[in-house]
Structures are given as C-alpha cells and as structure tokens.
Chains A and B, each alone.
Chain A
Amino acid sequence: MPEIKVTPLGAGQDVGRSCILVSIAGKNVMLDCGMHMGYNDDRRFPDFSYITQNGRLTDFLDCVIISHFHLDHCGALPYFSEMVGYDGPIYMTHPTKAICPILLEDYRKITVDKKGETNFFTSQMIKDCMKKVVAVHLHQTVQVDEELEIKAYYAGHVLGAAMFQIKVGCESVVYTGDYNMTPDRHLGAAWIDKCRPDLLITESTYATTIRDSKRCRERDFLKKVHETVERGGKVLIPVFALGRAQELCILLETFWERMNLKAPIYFSTGLTEKANHYYKLFITWTNQKIRKTFVQRNMFEFKHIKAFDRAFADNPGPMVVFATPGMLHAGQSLQIFRKWAGNEKNMVIMPGYCVQGTVGHKILSGQRKLEMEGRQILEVKMQVEYMSFSAHADAKGIMQLIRQAEPRNVLLVHGEAKKMEFLKQKIEQEFHVNCYMPANGETTTILTNPSIPVDISLGLLKRETAIGLLPDVKKPKLMHGTLIMKDNSFRLVSPEQALKELGLAEHQLRFTCRVHIQDPRKEHETVLRVYNHLKGVLKDYSVQHLPDGSITVESILIQATAHSEDQGTKVLLVSWTYQDEELGSYLTSLLKKGLPQSTA
C-alpha cells in the first residue's frame, strides 16, 4: 500500500521552529527550515542529523520549500544550505525571496552582538543561499523533477506567504505554512481550490480560539496611542523590520489623517525604505483595497511617518516611534525604551511574541524593575501594553480551509499539544477524516489509495466500439485487456498486442472436469440424451453433435465414456477454454445435477 510519511523536526506540537519532512511516493521534501529565537546555541536550529542516517542530504532531499519569510520558518536556511551542506533546490515565492535576506541580516546583527555565538552564518552565506532559491508565482505548477511538482496558493498572513501543494503522480500533500482566513488592512484571505489532497498539513496556532474581530483590536490600539499622545506622552512600538510594522503604519497613517493629528510618527531604521519598496513592488500580493487605491495614492508612501534619528528620542513633546528589533533585546528599540521607561506618561506597545530572557518578555510578564548592564536597575514606569496582531487562522478559519480543500487526512503542526488535541477531535467529528498531531521526531504514516491512470490502446477501444457499445461517461463498463507496466507507465492493450510487444508465444489453457452420470444405456445414447438436454436448456448457444460422437457448446467439448469398472456409470469429460470459463462452470454444474428423465 503506498504511504505518505511525515516527521516534524520542529513545529511538532510546538510553535518554536517549523521544519517538517514529508516522504511521498519516493520523494522527500522539507517544508520550512525555521529557527528558534529562544536559544543561543545549536538548539536554535532543527537537528538535521535525523534527516538521513546514511548518505548525503542533497542526495536524500528532493527539494526544500519555504512558506514565508518569518524566521521561525526560514531562519535556519543559510545554515542548512551553506554550513550543513544541502546543495539542492529551494523554493519560495518572489516576495519571500526578496524579503528573507532582510530579516536574516536583521537577526544576524543581533547575534553578533552576543558573546560566545558560534555556528552562525555570515552575510555572504545569506546571499549565496538566496542565489540558490528558485522563486515561484502563485498558482504556477513548478516541475521539481519529472515526477514531483509543486504549486503555491495565497496564504495571507504576511506579504508573500504561501501554502504549497506537493504532488507526485496522483498523490498529494498540502502544507499551509502560517495563514489567515480573514483579510486585514493590507493582505487578503488565504484561498485554496478543492484539490482534495491525501493530506493537509495545517498550522494550528489558534486551534481553540475564535478570535474577536480584528477591528476591535485595532480600535483599542488606536485609542491607546491617541490617549498617550494627547497627554503629551511618547509611544514606543518595537517591531521587526517587516510584516506587522507595515500593517500598523497603515493603521496609524489613516488615523492621523482622519483625526488631523500633528504629533510626529517615526520609523527607526534604514530598513523602512526597503520594506516599503517591497510592498510597492509586490502590490499584487496585497489586498484588493490597496491594489485599487494604488493608482490614486500608494498606501505605502506615508505622509505622516518619517525616518527617525537617534537624537529625536530626547526631543520634548509627544511622538510615536516604530523601532527595531521587536523583542527589545538589543539595538535601537532597547535604547529608546531605556530612555523613556522612567516616565509614566509614556507607553510601550508590544505587538508580537517575545522569547524568554528579552526585556520584551520581562515587561510583558509584569516585571517592573529590570536589571540592566552594569548592575543598573531600570524602573519601568511607562505603561506596557500587549496587543496581538499576528495574523493566523483561528479554529473557525482552520475548519473553513479544511472544508475548502476537502483533504482525506489532516495533520496539525505549529501549535500547542493541548489545543491541538481539542481541534483534532473537532475535525474528526465534523469531517470524518483522520487527524494526526505528531510530536517532534515522531513519524506519522498515512496510507493512501491512489487511483492510477492507465492508457488504453486505440485498437482495444475500437474493438469495443465495434461490438456496438458506445462510450458513455455515466456508465462505467468492464473491459478486458492485458495490463502492461513498463517505463513507469501503465497501458491496457489487447492480448494479441501484448504478446507482440513482449515477444511472447501464446499458450492455450483448457480446463477439464469429469462428471459421472448414472445411465445404463450405450455411450452414444447417453451422448444423445446429453445433447438433447443441453439443446433444450441453452437455446441461445450453438450446441452441436459432432460425427465423432462428441458434443460442443461454443468452445466447450463434451465426450462420454463408460466407467471402466461400472458400465452403468458414464463419465462425461468436459473441457473448455479460459475465455468460456463462465459457461464451462455453468455446464458442469448443470450436468452434475443429472439428466432429466423425460429426455429419454
């Protein structure tokens, strides 16, 4: 039985770093190659030594697919391709390919700031890795090799995020990466056609949550920013250079315009321009509204948001600053935080997840006295707000996607075990499909029942139509032929053609059966009785009595002899060909019942 095997090396019952191995019809694919930001040692990368026990990675893996540019999905890629030594093809969408290096550079910068960092990639490695990437368009079927093909679908979530269908023959897997089923300010909702994959591997970050409308969260955010600015305070929003930052910028820009606000908004790094450049370049990936208004005004050319200079942080009066990095763990965002933390009029809004150990994590968990370098204690008096803007599908969205794609099996990744368990039951109940949730390192095997396409030879088809049966889509019909499996293809041909192609000689196979009949008459009389009986019963068949005393019914031959020991018993030898097997069996069973008395 063909099978699909899935082994998560990361994202199996966790949200750390995605890296999922899929084996389908002899092809091996790695889905995402993420990094865990919570570790500073080798644990930040998936343990690639488990991919292949023997042999080289490049020989084992047929391709790597990256779903989107977040580091927990692509952060280990330069390590994998330039340090571990994978030299095969890597696929991602065009925006992901363009934006990935920005985030990887961003993170590389943070790590070189730390002590004892080893095993980390260089700028040159990031570039060399990106040069190996093959960029794909949405809905474009890409042939990885003769058998393996992949296709990208829109996933929402962040610019360039895609779900991927992986197909070998008629077996297929869909991997969602991270996706969002509701459109937001700059991106559309995820969409996939009814592709009925054998397996859908879906993220399940919000497996148990039905999220409130994003509008409420946005209103809340704007209200908080507005209030702070009104009372003369400063607002710090630590962000990663790309992604949520752009969404929040659009939000503030529109609000400032509407309310005619004057307080300055700054974006703190040189990356803004580049980020916005990509949003402009890949405008087709944003949502309809942005695309429509693009002609009149580009949403990403901000009127109110200006570049930040570090000297501005000490300016009096209100302001809003977007600063990188997003977890307040180093660099400019931390510097501004330290300057502003002591004033209760100010506010910091954390719009995303922070790993343990970072200042962001500490203030979110309510710590207000932080030890800084040099044993200084920083007292945090400013307001701290957490506002989740991450764009994942909630439980409803996940169910909706399953309804859309109609998979035969579902496998949950990128979520917490407890929540997955709940969703798993719900999926199994509602859709009557198997749902799996392997832990990292655990292999799930899914049996598939692929329908295998077979070519039928023209000759055979013609012969069938010649019999007078015209093909009808609604009426499946039985056809006899010989199945030839050659060069990875299946063909149904007539037996004669098969013999010819294979250079084989034909052998005739006959079945024989002896039937004993109690009849004291002479042999030829018995034969006559049998002949009459059969002629009466098998009216539609050609029954003949041959001069040599044998009877034929179509290809079936019947001869009678007297039993050597008991003359009162006659032995009927029935023999038939394979083609008349049905009739032959019928005849023997008929004869076994004996002859009717009346035929005498």
Chain B
Amino acid sequence: MTRECSLLLPRVCAALADPRQPGSDDTCLEKLLDWFRDLTELDPTVKLLQDNPCLTEFISSVLALPEPSPSILSFTLRLAGILAASEIRFQHLQQEKLLIRLFGRDGPLNSAVWEDASVRSGWVEGVHSMMHHQPALHFLCDDGSIDVIFTLQGDPSLFVASAASQLLVHMLTLSVESETTKPLSTKDCDWPACAQMIIKRIEDSLQSSSASHIEQSLKLLTSLFGSCRATWTEVLWLGVAKQIESFLTEETVQAQHMLANLFLNMAWSPVFCDAEGSFWALVTSALEHLTPVQAGPLAVGILRLYKCPQDVRIQAVTVLLQPMDCILRAASQPLEYAGLLDESVSDPTAVESLLSSKSSCASLLCQTLAHLEELLSLIRLPVDLPYTSLLRSLMTILQFCNGFLCPASPLGSMISRILINSFRVQRSALDVIAALSEKKGGDSLIGSLFDVLLAYLESPNTSPTVLKKTFQATSKWLMRLQELSCSNSQWQQTQKILEDVFLVLQKRLCSPCWEVRDSSLEFLTVLIKYLRDQDEFRQSLLSSEVPRLTENLLEDPESYVRASAVTAVGHLAFITYFASESPVVGNQYNKENTVAKLQEILSTDPEGFPRRAVISIFTKWLRQGCTGQLEDTEQFVSRVIQTVEYDLDWEVRLGGLELVEVFCSQTICQLGLPECPYAPVSSAVTSSIHQDELLQIFCRTKLFSFLFRSLCDCDKPVGQRACDILLGLRSSFYPISTLKDSQGTGDSPARDSIAWLQRTLRQGSLAQNFLTDGGNGVDFQDPEIMMLALGTIDLEELHDELNKSSDHVEKSPQSLLQDILATVGTIEENEADCY
C-alpha cells in the first residue's frame, strides 16, 4: 500500500462507518474490495492489519451501529472474509472477537437486516473468502453455522443460493483435503468431522421427499464432481449412487432434469470415467430413461469426451439422431430412403409424441439441431454420422417449414403443420446445413439441396434473419460445389446453380429492407473472397446485373449498407480490374471511376462506417499490390493521407495509419533496406542513395506530417499506432549503433524546429494549433529535418506515455479513496440520477 493510500484509508473507513453519510456508490465498495483482495493475496502476514488499525476499528464500529445500512454491513462481511483469508490474520481478527460477532449466531444472521439479500450474500461471500485454512473450517462447523449455509441453498435470491452451494463444495473439499490423515476407502470411511456433517446432509436430503432438497444436493454434487477430481469423490459417490440411480426410474421424484449435468461432470473426472463398467452402465441407463429433451445435453456431452466406451457413444448418437430419423420416416414412403437409424435399436414412440405436439416439437428440434451443430464443429468426431441421411432430414425440415412438403403420413402431416413458418427451426436447421458442408458425404443430394436453399433465397416469406443464415449455408455449399466440379467436371450443374444464385441475389440487392441488402452484400463479398479464382464463378457473376447493382448501393441511404457495398465493390475490383487476365470487355468497369467514387465516399460520406470500409479496402488493395507502380502508389497514398488526416472518426484515421504502415514497409522492401526480410539486397544500407530516395518518397507523400500530428491525437489508439510506425521507421533509417551519433547533429535552425516539435509532442493531445501553420518552422517535407527528427525525438518515452491507458489514473486505488472521501457530505441528488 502506498503512503498516500495509507494516509487516506483511516478517513475513508471513518466515512464509510458513519451512518449520517449518504451510502457510498456500490461500485466504489466493489472496487475497494478488489483492492483489498489484491493486497491480501500478495501478503499473508498480519502487517496490513497492524499498519492500518483503522480496518479493525471500522469493523467494530459497523458492528456497534444499532441499524447499519445493508450495503455497508454486506461490505463489512466481505471485507472481514478477505482479511481472514490468511490464518494469521484470521487469528488476529478472532482475538478481537470480530469474526464471531460478524459470522456467528449472534451476528447479523439473527437480526432484522438478514432479511436483506445483500447481507446474506455478503455473509456467504465473506465465509467463502476466509475458507482457506482449518481454523476457519472449525470456526464455522463448531458454531453450527453450517446449518445456515444449508438453508441458504434454498434462498429466494438466486445469487445467494448459488453462492451457498459453491461454499459447501469448497468447505467439503477443504475439509477432506486438509484434515484427512490416511486415504479414504469405502470400507474404512473415516471422514473428517466437517466433511462428515456435509455428507450426512447430502445423503439425508437425497432420501427426503422434498424435491427442492434433492435438487440442491444434486446441484452440490454436480459442482463438486465438476471441480474436484480426487479419488475420495468416488467414496462419496458410492454412498449415494443407489439413491441417485433410483431417480432415473422412479417417476415420483422429479429430479431427472438435474442428472444429465451430474453425469457429465462425472464423465470428465478420471475417477469415474476410468472405472470399470458401473458408471457407464449408469450413463447408458440415463440415456434410456431420460426424456429425449433431458438426454440430449448428456448425449452431446458424452460425444465430446476422449475416453468413453464405444457402445455408449453409439447410444448417445442414437439419442441425437432419433428426432432426425423420425422426421425422415414421417416424410417418406416406407422403404423409400434408408433411415438414419436401424429401427430395432431404439423405440421412437417418445420422440414421435414430442414431435407431434405443438408445444414441444419446435423446441425438441431446435435443441437437437443445436447439439448436432456442436457435434459437427468438433475437429475429431468419435463416431461416424450418416451425413447423407442427415442432410436429407435437414432438407425435409426446411421443406416442412416453408410448406413445400406436406406428407401423407399422419405424423408427417402433423409435424409439417406445426413447423410451418417456424423461424427458430429454420435458423437452426440452416446452421447445421452450413456445418455439414465441411464433412464428406451428401454430395449426391447437392442438386436438391440447392433447390431447397434457392427456394428460401427466393421466397418473400423468408425473414431477414433466416435469409442471412441461408446465405451463410449457400456460400459454404457453393465452395463445396466448386471443389466437386473441379474433381468430377460437373461444371454445367455448377454454372446453372451459380446463375440461379446471382439471379436471386439481384432481387435481394434491391430489397426495401436494409438488413437484407446488407446480408446480400456480405454474401457477395464472401463468395468473391473464396471463389474469385474460379472461371465459372467469374463468368456468372460478371454476366449478371449484380456488379452494377452493387455499385448502385454505394449510394444507399443506410450507412451500414453503404459500408458493405464499399467492401463488395473493393473485392469485385479483384475480378474486374486487378485480375491478370481480366475477363472484362469494353468500358463497363472503369477502374478510375470506382477509385474516384470510393475516394469521394472517403472524403464526403457523413457517417463513419462507409469511410472506414473505404480505407480498409484501400489498404487491402495496397497490400495486394493492386495500386500500380511505385509512382502511382505514391500519389494514391498521398491523396488518401490528405483525405483522412482530418477525419472526425478515429477509426478512419487509424485505418489511414495502417495504410501508411503498409506503404512504408512495401517501399522499404522495394528499395532494399536490410530490415526487410524479403529485400533483394541484404547489405547494410547499401547506399545512402536508397535512403535519400526513401525519405524523399515519404516526404512527398506527406506521411510525416500525418504521423507526427497523430501523436497528438485526442484518441489514444491513433497516437499509439503512429508512434509504433515512427519507431519502425527510425529503426529502418538508424541502425541501433548509429542512433546516438545522430543526435545533436544538424544546423541550428533545424535543431530549433526539432526542439519545438519535441516540446509540442510532450503536450500530447493538448498541443495547440499543431501543424496548421506549417509546424512553426518544422518542414515535414524536408528529408533532412525528418531524418533528424526521427533520430532526436524521444519516441520511446512517448511510446510509454501513450501506452498508459487513459484510465490508469482513474483505476488507481488512491483515486478511488479520494473519490469516496470527496462524496462525503455531497448532496444526495447526484447519485440517484442516471442517464
């Protein structure tokens, strides 16, 4: 603790304990606790308490208040807990009899303030914080306060209930791990006293008839097995296993919904997953007995495990595939298609009845689809999935949803009626279809899949959110289609599909709904990014109206759409102008026109998004070497810098700096300075001619004035980036050994102007009229002066200064203490106010 803070702390404590003062802002108290947590973690000794007796005095005075405010009492409980986290400080507070008065039977827990949830929460958190040593454990257990914690598991406040459950897990683990002298076994199970109390309560609750007690104990066991992987957990489990097993079969006890999580946490623990047979038999039984909705999360969790018997995995897959199988069977004539599952494996009645009920159909499908998507995202799938049938089933769902399929079977017609227009199911199914594109299989269905996707893209009933997902799925499958058509020369089919896609895209680009226009443009950009090398793609795109419509959208009234149009047009350019063998005929696509249009957006668009998009496209072009020869590029960069350096949007200015950075490194590379790893010439500054040329180029593009000006930008990230670039440039021009020599050279007027620059930069964002009058004699286009500036100005110091976050003062404990003190005695009205 700094001296300033220790001087402020006693006054802060006095203010907090003064009931006449208006309550302090909750965030202040929270941050104060954060600070104490940091302080105590670093030093377990009693020094903090001895050096700052105001802390114990504060606790005593709060305890002495006849009616302490709940927030201050809660703060005191939590503070005391944090302080008592080390044994020695715990003893110190015990001697002062503070802990017993705070956490014991005669403390707040038997007073009226206990009604306040924040006090109960403070009590639990305080106990949890101190629970790091045996004396704390005994303090709680001997006092009988453990009963309080058990009661709090059922607290009306979710926060308190959950914290109480976590606390019990922590206490149980601490008790067993710190107080057991010999390894525990089922035969000789000698639990330490505190653990014994907790375990007894768990066992009793599990046997009780109260659903909430059972639920609490299951929750406790779930988090215990999730956090503790020690062997003793098995001994505990064996004591309750029978009872828990019975919950699977007894319908009188409503605890099944809790079991999936419990078993999953156990499955992750080596204690159980390595066990022979019995645990996996239980999991198998759970997959059988739980309802399809309850079993789903368990099934997907199991399939994520590395260690698991194959037959359990197969059963888990069955659980997930069953609804999909049901859909397929409901939609098709018998024996028309192979199902997803061998019928004899599972009984589909439960799933069928859920799917045929209006209230459960969509939710079961959405859950199953989400699980399948999760499964498909795994890098290594532990089981084979029938991808083709799965895809067919997904297509069926989508056709149910848009009314394209109304099967004759009673179940099929029922499901199709329920699902019609269900956006939720549509979105989930499209997500899985997109994920399936990365798996091998389903190629034979690709034609019909695109029929379904195109129907969605075309339909006016498709909602904007569903349309977005359809675009995502379509783009993924188009990539897949390209791969396929390369290998098996199905280019005619590909050509037809692409033409259809662009036809529908034309329509969507003219949608009255900005969300749709935006998603369409994003879709186009993705397609160009990944497929621009494919001939069929380029031809279909350029022979459609899409490019023209995209350019039109540069003038869209919605700024998000203009920004997406800029990005799309920027990518289109890779096909139209920058491609080595440009397929463009005639003057339809004029490069200069497009550049001019984008340049105009950069300088005149009233909103930030389109301008940001332009600068990022320009940088992309520059990176890919599309801006022409060095001279053209120089002019291009210079023009861009002049446009962006006064931009009101800091991200545009930041984007400008990124462009400058790319330009610098490319130019340095081209002229062969040694720092560039790809430089054709590797000797140290092969000649000063190169260096001079470089400096001249940089000066001509006016990038130095932009960089130095940016150092004083009121938006810090801009200053930081500029400083990084200048440091990079310096290291290019001054190898470390020569840096010192350079300082102090140069004639006197130059030195004066550099000194002025140095002073100005020190003022940072407060610098006045920086550069507007030509920089008070600093010529930013003079290579010599710039060389001198790079060598002289202390960029490291600036870098450190800029890298301090703007809130480093704000975040300091001293500032916090000052703020708390400053609010003492202020008018209350300010606090209640909000935005």
The chain A residues found within 8 Å of chain B, CB to CB, are: 7, 14-16, 36, 38-40, 43, 50, 54-56, 58-59, 70-72, 87-89, 105, 109, 112-116, 123, 127, 130-132, 178, 205-206, 209, 240, 243, 269-270, 273-274, 310-311, 314, 329-332, 334-335, 338-339, 352-353, 355-358, 361-362, 364-367, 371-374, 386, 388, 390, 392, 414-417, 419, 439-443, 488
Given contacts A55-B297, A353-B835, A441-B157, contact A329 B606 (CB under 8 A): no
| A270-B607, A488-B358 given; 13 more Cβ-contact pairs under 8 Å | A55-B367, A109-B651, A115-B805, A132-B465, A209-B832, A269-B648, A270-B608, A331-B714, A352-B833, A353-B835, A356-B25, A365-B819, A374-B804
Contact of B715 among A113, A417, A488 (CB under 8 A): A113
A-B contact pairs, 8 of them (CB 8 A): A70-B835, A114-B807, A352-B834, A356-B28, A373-B764, A373-B808, A392-B834, A442-B156
Residue contact A15 to B834, C-beta cutoff 8 Å: yes
Given contacts A330-B806, A353-B834, contact A43 B465 (CB under 8 A): no
The interface residues of chain A lying within 8 Å CB-to-CB of B257 are 54
Residue contact B160 to A441, C-beta cutoff 8 Å: yes
Closest 4 pairs between A and B when the two form their complex, measured CB to CB:
A115-B805, A270-B648, A365-B822, A441-B159
Residue contact A127 to B297, C-beta cutoff 8 Å: no
Chain A CB within 8 A of B829 CB: yes
Main secondary structure of the interface of B (DSSP, over half): helix
Residue contact B808 to A386, C-beta cutoff 8 Å: no
Chain A CB within 8 A of B408 CB: no
Nearest-neighbour CB distance to chain A for B323, whole angstroms, equals 14
- List B residues 103-129 near A (Cβ within 8 Å): 116-118, 121
Residue tally, chain B, CB below 8 Å to A = 81
Residue of B nearest to A127 (CB): B560
Residue contact A38 to B25, C-beta cutoff 8 Å: yes
Residue contact B260 to A54, C-beta cutoff 8 Å: yes
Chain A CB within 8 A of B473 CB: no
Cα A373 to Cα B801 in complex, Å, equals: 8
Residue of B nearest to A128 (CB): B468
The interface residues of chain A lying within 8 Å CB-to-CB of B769 are 311, 314
Given contacts A439-B118, A439-B157, A442-B117, contact A388 B833 (CB under 8 A): yes
- List B residues 685-719 near A (Cβ within 8 Å): 714-717
Chain A CB within 8 A of B162 CB: yes
Contact of A362 among B117, B651, B819 (CB under 8 A): B819
The interface residues of chain B lying within 8 Å CB-to-CB of A59 are 363, 366-367, 370
Nearest-neighbour CB distance to chain B for A266, whole angstroms, equals 13
Q: Mark B756-774, 1 if CB is under 8 A from A, else 0.
A: 0000000011101100100
Cα A333 to Cα B25 in complex, Å, equals: 24
- List B residues 335-380 near A (Cβ within 8 Å): 358, 363, 366-367, 370
Residue contact A357 to B159, C-beta cutoff 8 Å: no
Residue contact A357 to B807, C-beta cutoff 8 Å: yes
Nearest-neighbour CB distance to chain B for A309, whole angstroms, equals 8
Residue of A nearest to B260 (CB): A54
Residue contact B833 to A390, C-beta cutoff 8 Å: yes
Chain A CB within 8 A of B519 CB: yes
Chain A CB within 8 A of B261 CB: yes
Chain A CB within 8 A of B775 CB: no
Chain A CB within 8 A of B252 CB: no
Contact of A88 among B27, B424, B822 (CB under 8 A): B424
The interface residues of chain B lying within 8 Å CB-to-CB of A14 are 26
Nearest-neighbour CB distance to chain B for A328, whole angstroms, equals 11
Cα A338 to Cα B712 in complex, Å, equals: 14
Residue contact A386 to B27, C-beta cutoff 8 Å: no
Cα A353 to Cα B808 in complex, Å, equals: 21
Nearest-neighbour CB distance to chain A for B563, whole angstroms, equals 9
Cα A329 to Cα B768 in complex, Å, equals: 21
Residue contact B815 to A357, C-beta cutoff 8 Å: yes
Cα A269 to Cα B608 in complex, Å, equals: 11
Residue contact A131 to B464, C-beta cutoff 8 Å: yes
The interface residues of chain A lying within 8 Å CB-to-CB of B607 are 270, 274
A-B contact count (CB 8 A): 198
The interface residues of chain B lying within 8 Å CB-to-CB of A338 are 766
Chain A CB within 8 A of B274 CB: no
Nearest-neighbour CB distance to chain A for B671, whole angstroms, equals 34
- Interface centre among A71, A205, A335, by most chain B C-beta atoms within 10 angstroms, is A335
Residue contact A332 to B714, C-beta cutoff 8 Å: yes
The interface residues of chain B lying within 8 Å CB-to-CB of A353 are 830, 833-835
Nearest-neighbour CB distance to chain B for A276, whole angstroms, equals 11
Nearest-neighbour CB distance to chain B for A278, whole angstroms, equals 12
Q: Mark B782-821, 1 if CB is under 8 A from A, else 0.
A: 0000000000000000000101111111110011101100
Residue contact B835 to A366, C-beta cutoff 8 Å: no
Chain A CB within 8 A of B31 CB: yes
Residue of A nearest to B30 (CB): A43
Cα A209 to Cα B833 in complex, Å, equals: 11
- Interface centre among A115, A373, A488, by most chain B C-beta atoms within 10 angstroms, is A373
Contact of B159 among A50, A130, A339 (CB under 8 A): A50
Residue contact A113 to B805, C-beta cutoff 8 Å: yes
Chain A CB within 8 A of B65 CB: no
Contact of A440 among B159, B363, B468, B819 (CB under 8 A): B159
Cα A269 to Cα B1 in complex, Å, equals: 41
The interface residues of chain A lying within 8 Å CB-to-CB of B835 are 70-72, 240, 243, 352-353, 390
Cα A353 to Cα B833 in complex, Å, equals: 6
Cα A373 to Cα B810 in complex, Å, equals: 10
Contact of A388 among B366, B612, B649, B829 (CB under 8 A): B829
The interface residues of chain B lying within 8 Å CB-to-CB of A362 are 815, 818-819, 822
Residue of A nearest to B515 (CB): A131
Chain A CB within 8 A of B313 CB: no
Residue of B nearest to A338 (CB): B766
Residue of A nearest to B811 (CB): A357
Chain A CB within 8 A of B205 CB: no
Residue contact A443 to B832, C-beta cutoff 8 Å: no
Nearest-neighbour CB distance to chain B for A122, whole angstroms, equals 11
Cα A556 to Cα B832 in complex, Å, equals: 76
The interface residues of chain B lying within 8 Å CB-to-CB of A417 are 70, 116
Residue contact A416 to B832, C-beta cutoff 8 Å: yes
Nearest-neighbour CB distance to chain A for B286, whole angstroms, equals 14
Residue contact B157 to A112, C-beta cutoff 8 Å: no
Residue of A nearest to B772 (CB): A311
Cα A332 to Cα B519 in complex, Å, equals: 34
Residue of A nearest to B563 (CB): A127
Residue contact B714 to A310, C-beta cutoff 8 Å: yes
Contact of B830 among A38, A386, A416 (CB under 8 A): A386
Residue of A nearest to B648 (CB): A270
Chain A CB within 8 A of B650 CB: yes
Nearest-neighbour CB distance to chain B for A467, whole angstroms, equals 38
Residue of B nearest to A388 (CB): B833
Chain A CB within 8 A of B645 CB: no
Contact of B826 among A273, A365, A419 (CB under 8 A): A365
Q: Mark B1-44, 1 if CB is under 8 A from A, else 0.
A: 00000000000000000000000011110110000000000000
Residue of A nearest to B797 (CB): A374
Residue contact A361 to B819, C-beta cutoff 8 Å: yes
Cα A591 to Cα B162 in complex, Å, equals: 68
Nearest-neighbour CB distance to chain B for A126, whole angstroms, equals 10
Nearest-neighbour CB distance to chain A for B360, whole angstroms, equals 11
Chain A CB within 8 A of B508 CB: no
Given contacts A270-B649, A374-B801, contact A358 B717 (CB under 8 A): no
Cα A442 to Cα B160 in complex, Å, equals: 9
The interface residues of chain A lying within 8 Å CB-to-CB of B260 are 54
Cα A15 to Cα B829 in complex, Å, equals: 13
Chain A CB within 8 A of B823 CB: yes
Residue contact A113 to B160, C-beta cutoff 8 Å: no
Residue contact B468 to A131, C-beta cutoff 8 Å: yes
Nearest-neighbour CB distance to chain A for B514, whole angstroms, equals 9
Chain A CB within 8 A of B158 CB: yes
- Interface centre among B519, B806, B808, by most chain A C-beta atoms within 10 angstroms, is B806
Cα A243 to Cα B465 in complex, Å, equals: 30
Cα A50 to Cα B158 in complex, Å, equals: 7
